Structures are given as C-alpha cells and as structure tokens.
Structure 1
Amino acid sequence: MKLTTLKAAACVAFTASAAFAEPVNLTLSGGNPGGLWSLLGAGIDRATKADDADSVVTYQATGGGFANIGLLGKDRTDLGLLHDAEAKIALNGGEPFQEPIENMRAIGYMYNWAPMHFFLDRGLAKKYDIDSLDDIVDSGAPLRIGINRSGNITSNVALFMLEEAGVTEDVISADGGQFVRAGANEQADLIQDGRLDMITNGIFINHSSFRAVDENSDVVLLGVPAEIVEATNEEFGTGTMTIPSGSYSNLETDVTTSALGALLVATEDMSEETAYSLTGSLVKNIDEVRAVHNSMKQLSPELLATPSVLPFHPGAERAYREADLIK
C-alpha cells in the first residue's frame, strides 16, 4: 500500500511522538485456543513488543464474542475480540444480554471480510429451480439446512437472512425439511455424507470447511437479494461483500452478500494513554498482525481506523488522527 507524501509525513511524526508511550500490560479475551483469534492475540502482543519489549498482551481463551462482551461489560478483561454484529446486539440489549452493554469502545477493525455463504446441493437446486435464497420459500423443497450452533453469531445472521427471504422453520417443516444445528466443520461433514442439503456460515472465502465442501460435494452458492443484504446490514451492523465468480467450482457469477467483521474492543475505563499507545503500535507494526495467517494479508491501517457500530476509544481516535487516518 502506497502512502501519499502527506500521509507518510504524518505517520513519521506520529511514530516519533508515540515512541515515548509507556509499555502496556493488558489481557485480551478471544476465542478457542488455536483459532484465528488466538493468532490475532499473538500478533497484537508482538506489535506492542515491537515498540517496547516490556509490553505484554496476554491472550485468554473464551467462548467467543458474546462471552467477551460479558467480560467487558463487567470490567473483567482489558480487551476483547468480537464481531460487529455481536456488538450491535449488545448495544440493543438483545439476547443473550439482559440489558444494553454501553461501556465498549473500539480500538480498531481487525477484518471485515467474512461473508455469509449459503451452499445448496446442486441436484436439489436444479430439481427445485433454486438459484437464490428467495427461491426456497415457494419451491416446496424438503431441505435439511445446517445452522451454526446457538451462541455463534453466524446462526443469528443466517436465521435472520433466511427469515427475510420467507424461509422460517415452519415453512421448512411443512415441506418436510428441518433446521439442523451444527458447527462449521460438522456441517461440512454432514453435507458430504448426504445428511444435510444446505449449509450456512459466515467465514472467509475458501475457508478450510468450505474447501472441503466444494471439493467433496456437488454444491452451488446461492445468491442473496439486495434487499436482504440491506436489511441484514441494518439489523446487525455488518457490511456488504462480493464473493467473486470462480471462488468455488460451480460459481459462475459474483454473489453479493452480508459480511461479518471482527473488532478489537476496550472499555471506556481504559486510560487514554494506554489506548493511544496500543493503537499506535498496531498502526506502526501492522505487519506483525498480518503475518499471523494468510487470511490477514488484507489488514491495513485504514481498515483499523474504519468506523464501526462502536465509537472509537478517545486514545485510539487520537492515534488515528495523528496518523492522518481519520479527520
């Protein structure tokens, strides 16, 4: 990525000023051990250490975004990784929260390229003339549809998108089908074994579970009507992303859908100087985070500074302004 002369000068000035920041000592709540979020935790730790060897970001495994929001809400962690859609639900006090969680402040976007996928067995797609989500409701197809387990945000999003297309559990049951709760890898196994007809999830294009489905099952990726994408983004604070044609074996046209993103979040109780130092380290040493996984190569300072459903922490905002990333 090439910076303009003005932006480059601003980054140099920012680097010089941030060099005097105090080391940070923070706990970061993520997800499952060994998953992408644990790798991001290691990258964030390395980014802070690149500025000050005494800095420490200690990763702790949790149940994921909803659990991390609960920890942030009770001030039991310094930082949490969570999806933008989970943050939107928490702000509104939706399930699983009993009241709005309002003390969260964004440090930055870590990624925003986890699009919702809806794979359907190609034989059934041809038999019932299903090309898009909204074709299902009047098709009469007895579909067994994989939905992620409760507590995983992609289950909320998938069910909402299907409902917007008129595909409810009652409709599916009346046609002889059902919703089946299963995790990403389990869904891949079930459709390969012929025990599911359709799977849903919101993760990276060509994620290992999707590759397994594409390579071992004859499936098509369903289109998503624009009005459903718009309604989903309004409901969950998600973004819009296009899955390019050719990404999967039978994908001959682009598919535009809603995409989840992950945020690094602190609370309003974090000091401005700590948030400023942390954010500055991420901006300057972003290669440390990019290096954790091939899927993170797109991460940029500009993405870090992208507004989300949460307001920036004042310290993060100051760091981005000094780096000329926001106005």
Structure 2
Amino acid sequence: MNNKLSLMIAAASLSITLTTSAVAADRSDWPESFTVGTASQGGTYFAYGSGWANYIAENLGISGGAEITGGPVQNMALVHTGDLSFGLTTMGPARESLEGKSPLAPGMQMDNVCAMFPMYQTPFSVTVLADSGITSIADIPDGARIGFGPAGSTSDTYFPKMMETLGVNFERRNGSWSDLGGQLQDGLIDVVAFAAGIPIPAVSQLEVQSEINIIEFNQDELAQITESYPVAPFTIPASTYKTLEADSQAVSMWNFAMANCDMPEDMVYEMTRLTMENNDKMVSIHKAARTTIPENYVKNNVLPWHPGAARWFNENGFTIEASQIK
C-alpha cells in the first residue's frame, strides 16, 4: 500500500510539473502587452472595450488597454495589418472589409481577422431635443443637420443610406458621440443618428442635461430598412432610458470581438474563456454585455474563427466546424 501511495504521489507530482511547464511554454509566444481597437469616447465600444481590456489584463497578468479609433471599419483594417492585436467590429462593415469593399482600403481583402466571441447588437436609433418638435422620422425637416458619429463608423456607413431610403434630406456631420451630443444641446445640429450598444453613454448623459425624444421607426419604415440593409428589427426596452415611456422600435446589427489571426492560440483561448465564463463580470463592465454569451456565437456568419476561440467553444458544447476556422 505504501509503495502504491508513493507511486501515486510521484505520478501526481510529475503531472503537476509537466502541466506547469506546459503553461510556461504556452506563454512563451505571448506578447508582453495588447491593445484593443474600440471607437470614440462617449460610445459603447469605448466603454465596453476599455473595461474588457482591463479585465483581461488583470486576470492574465499582462498589460492591456483600449485605443480610441474610428470604429468597426478602421478596427478591421488595424487588426488585419497587425497594427492592433484585437478589435471590436460590426458584421456589416466586417463583411465589406473581408470582401475588399472597405472605404478605407478599396480592393484590400482583410482576411487576416478572426472572430473571438459575440458581444451585443448595435441598435440604430435617432435622438433629438424635445423642443425641436420632431417626434417621427417623417418630421425631420429638409436640410436637417444630422450627426452620424465618427467618419467610417457603423453609423456613418449605414445610417445616411437608411435616411436617404426613407426620403430624408440632410446635411451630414461627423464627430465623436460625446461631441455630437454637445452640438445637439448647443443647437449646432438638429439630430443625432446613433448606432451603438445600449445604453449609449452619450444619450444617458444627454437626458440628464436636456429633455430629449428618442425616435423610433414605424412599421413601414422598418420594412424598407430591413429589406435594403443587413439589419434586423430590434426593440429598445423602455427601461433603457428614463426618457422612454414605452419600448422603442429600432433595427440592429451584431458586434463581435476579433483578433489578428496570427495571435497565439492559447492566449486567445484564455481570453475567450474568461469572457464567456464570466458574464456577470462583463455586465458589470457594460449592460450591453447581457448578450455576450456563448449561445450567440451563431450570429457570426461572416468572419472565420480564431483557432483559440473555436477550441473553447468546441470544448464547451458549441460546434464550430473545421471549415469555419482560420
């Protein structure tokens, strides 16, 4: 019995030694730090991305942070080239970039970008000051000055086209969400067309300082938009903003976190694991992360999966076929 016990202890010690060595070896190709591309301050990408980067850095024991960028389109380019290791993107701009249709680099197929995990849906919603008298899309006057967010952002890419489809004539303005919120309050613009996860920090700030209207799409407008663009109907719950007295009808597009496909497999595996297994922590970073759950992995029908992320999903009962992995 003593001999058997000694053998078992020796075997266990050897196993621990080998495991420890494997972990050390697995980290040998990890960078000392990482940066995630987000978007402008005042938007959900920046709040979500900077909180996520800090959370991952703390748990993996490496340095990490967020970088302010122009949003999903620019993030695709920066991650593809390796200027950034990680980024946040929306499925519409991701598809265009993958197909070589990015406005930032026409003809360049950005195919070195891999999906990591689902984030949340980006609703497209319209905000105005209450004293503007605008209560519907049809009320927006000809020549209205509309802020569409940072140039090249998801909102700037799709919302102007949507407005044109709905017959709205406007002057196009760009800027960070925080800046556009200030311009709306100061009367420098008439409308802000937001595309960001809810609650949008800039809208929450606006309704504290001013009386606002959050404009929804009617059924005919919804039908036109969903038929013409890669979006789906989305309901903004009344509880999202104190301004809303009832649920508000919008449209939305899914967001995913992405990695440069050359990032170490074990590093991406650990980052995916920490995110997918700790939703409470993610929700504490931003309420939009309520949908940052494994089941929503099926919302990615655009990007190939990073091998590290795919390994976590496949180990945990979610099927990602080999043909879907980079």
Query: Shorter-chain TM-score category?
Result: 0.7 to 0.9
Residue deviations 1:70-117 (CA, integer Å, cap 9, x gap) = 2322234433233333312311322012222122110112x2143222
Q: Secondary structure at the match of 1:188?
A: helix
RMSD of aligned Cα (Å) = 3.3
Residue deviations 1:229-283 (CA, integer Å, cap 9, x gap) = 414652xxx5542112364455344322223443221233345454434433433
Gaps of 5+ in 2: 1-18, 321-326
Q: Is the 8 A contact 2:269 2:308 kept in 1?
A: yes
Shift, 1:60, TM fit = 5.4
Aligned pairs for 1:88-99 (under 5 A) are 88-92=95-99, 93-98=101-106, 99=108
Residue 52 of structure 2 corresponds to which residue in structure 1? Answer: 40
Q: Is the 8 A contact 2:126 2:214 kept in 1?
A: yes
| Distance in 1 (alpha carbons) for counterparts of 2:54 and 2:302 | 25
TM-score by length of 1: 0.72
Alignment counterpart, residue 87 of structure 1, candidates 73, 88, 94: 94
| Distance in 2 (alpha carbons) for counterparts of 1:45 and 1:232 | 41
How many aligned positions are there?
Answer: 285
Q: Is the 8 A contact 1:45 1:58 kept in 2?
A: yes
Higher helix proportion, which one?
A: 2
Shift, 1:305, TM fit = 6.4
Q: Is the 8 A contact 1:115 1:203 kept in 2?
A: yes
The AA in structure 1 aligned to 2:186 is: D
Q: Is the 8 A contact 1:233 1:240 kept in 2?
A: no
The range that moved more, 66-75 or 314-323, is: 66-75
Residue 283 of structure 1 corresponds to which residue in structure 2? Answer: 276
Aligned pairs for 1:88-237 (under 5 A) are 88-92=95-99, 93-98=101-106, 99-109=108-118, 111-125=119-133, 131=136, 133=137, 135-136=138-139, 141-167=142-168, 171-172=169-170, 178-224=171-217, 225-231=221-227, 233-234=229-230
TM-score by length of 2: 0.72
Q: Is the 8 A contact 2:276 2:292 kept in 1?
A: no
Q: Secondary structure at the match of 1:90?
A: helix
Alignment counterpart, residue 67 of structure 2, candidates 61, 64, 78: 61
Shift, 1:311, TM fit = 2.4
Greater CA radius of gyration, 1 or 2?
Answer: 2
Alignment counterpart, residue 310 of structure 1, candidates 300, 303, 311: 303
| Distance in 2 (alpha carbons) for counterparts of 1:261 and 1:57 | 28
Gaps of 5+ in 1: 1-17, 173-177
Residue 261 of structure 2 corresponds to which residue in structure 1? Answer: 268
State percent identity of aligned pairs: 19
Alignment counterpart, residue 31 of structure 1, candidates 26, 38, 44: 38
Tell which has more relative contact order, 1 or 2 (C-alpha 8 A, sep 6+). Answer: 1
The AA in structure 1 aligned to 2:91 is: D
Q: Is the 8 A contact 1:143 1:198 kept in 2?
A: yes
The range that moved more, 19-28 or 275-284, is: 19-28
- Mark the CA change 1:164 to 1:276 in structure 2 (over 3 Å): closer, same or farther: same
Q: Is the 8 A contact 1:104 1:268 kept in 2?
A: yes
